[in-house]
């Protein structure tokens, strides 16, 4: 993202804002403290509930949220860039985030897995 941007809202391609959406995203940005740089909603992440007789995965939605949904992210880029420069000066920030992931989860399975590992490792950055 251009360095002149201080903040941004990132939306999935299948997501759009209606009515006062932009105002709500701006309000989330204003609620962040000096260490927070990402606002996102919780998601109903799925867990492996078992296997089907043929060996396929049977997934369940847990009773409470297990992470964030990266379909709508509000980022304070000024704070994010400062955090990334300190946390991971030798590589892109997401590389260092994935290094902290448990074995078996160290490859990018999509942006949501990277964001979830970020807030798992650094919960103070999330509003």
Query: Each residue of 5-45: pLDDT tens digit?
Result: 999 999 999 888 888 889 999 999 999 999 999 999 877 65
**Upper half-sphere CA count for residue 98 (Cβ side, 13 Å):** 16
Closest CA to 39 of 1, 2, 77, 89: 77
Is residue 82 within 8 Å of 51, Cβ to Cβ?
A: no
pTM listed for this prediction: 0.78
- Alpha carbon distance 7, 27 (integer Å): 12
Cα–Cα distances in angstroms (integers) from residue 83 to residues 56, 68, 94, 97, 113, in the given order? 40, 19, 12, 12, 19
Encoded tokens for 43? 């998601």
Of the candidates 92, 104, 58, 77, the residue with the CA atom closest to the CA atom of residue 5: 77
Query: How many C-beta neighbours within 10 Å does residue 73 have?
Result: 21
How does pLDDT run across 103-119, given as a tens digit for each residue?
666 665 678 888 888 98
Q: Model confidence over 42-80: pLDDT tens digits?
A: 776 555 566 667 665 555 444 444 678 888 999 999 999
């Amino acid at each position: 993202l251009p360095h002149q941007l201080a903040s941004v809202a990132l939306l999935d391609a299948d997501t759009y804002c209606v009515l006062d959406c932009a105002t709500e995203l701006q309000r989330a940005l204003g609620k962040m403290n000096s260490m927070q740089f990402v606002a996102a909603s919780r998601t109903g992440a799925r867990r492996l509930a078992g296997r089907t007789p043929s060996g396929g995965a049977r997934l369940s939605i847990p009773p409470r949220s297990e992470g964030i949904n990266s379909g709508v992210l509000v980022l304070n880029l000024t704070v994010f860039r400062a955090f990334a420069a300190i946390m991971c000066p030798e590589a892109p920030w997401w590389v260092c985030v994935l290094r902290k992931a448990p074995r078996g989860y160290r490859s990018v399975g999509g942006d949501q897995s990277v964001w979830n590992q970020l807030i798992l490792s650094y919960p103070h950055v999330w509003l």
